[in-house]
């Protein structure tokens, strides 16, 4: 006669430590990460070679040249424009010539926020093509 050992019952896996680990991971990620909501504005895009119209182009096809001053102000045709005046001027121009393009000539001392604000105003006024004259290294 052969005796058989009674089968050992399998070790019970306790789930509590697993939950603990998961919870710690969760809390770790929630604490160490900063949630940033970020957008972008394209600066260089594929296939946007500037097709500058020559002097022979129709006057309305010539881009509007806006100067961005060092203090963040915008100068158009020699006169400084406040935000409201700029929006009004651009909107009027777009209403007359929907294809209006804008060329921004920034001062080196102006900050990034001033440039972004200007781009934003132009875009909101309905201008589809805004270009920035790049500064070269000194």
Partner 1 sequence: MRLRRSPRRRAPETIVALIDVVFFLLVFFMLVGRLDATAPFEVTPPLATVGTDLPAGGVTVSVSETGALALDGRPVSRAALLAALRPRADAADGPPLVRINAHAAVALRVLLPLVTALEGIGMTTVVLVVTPNAA
Q: Which residues bind partner 1 (CB under 8 A)?
A: 15-16, 18-19, 22-23, 25-26, 29-30, 33-46, 68, 106-117, 119-120, 123-124, 132, 134-138
> What is the DSSP annotation of 45-72?
-TT-------TTS-GGGSPEEEEE-TTS
C-beta of 63 vs 106, nearer to partner 1? 106
Q: How far is the CB of 51 from partner 1 (least distance, A)?
A: 17
Q: How far is the CB of 3 from partner 1 (least distance, A)?
A: 36
- The closest of 65, 64, 75, 77 to 114, measured between CA atoms, is 75
Q: How far is the CB of 85 from partner 1 (least distance, A)?
A: 19
d(CA 77, CA 55): 18
How long is the chain? 138
C-beta of 52 vs 61, nearer to partner 1? 52
Q: How far is the CB of 101 from partner 1 (least distance, A)?
A: 17
d(CA 99, CA 64): 11
């Amino acid at each position: 006669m052969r005796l058989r050992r009674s089968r050992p019952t399998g070790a019970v896996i306790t789930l509590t430590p697993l939950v603990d680990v998961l919870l710690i991971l969760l809390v770790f990620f929630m604490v160490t990460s900063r949630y940033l909501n970020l957008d972008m504005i394209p600066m260089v895009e594929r296939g946007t070679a500037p097709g500058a119209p020559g002097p022979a182009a129709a006057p309305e096809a010539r881009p509007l040249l806006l100067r961005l001053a060092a203090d963040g102000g915008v100068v158009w045709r020699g006169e400084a424009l406040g935000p409201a005046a700029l929006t009004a001027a651009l909107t009027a121009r777009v209403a007359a010539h929907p294809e209006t393009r804008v060329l921004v000539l920034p001062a080196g001392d102006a900050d990034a926020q001033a440039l972004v604000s200007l781009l934003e105003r132009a875009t909101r006024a309905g201008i589809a093509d805004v270009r920035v004259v790049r500064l070269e290294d000194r």
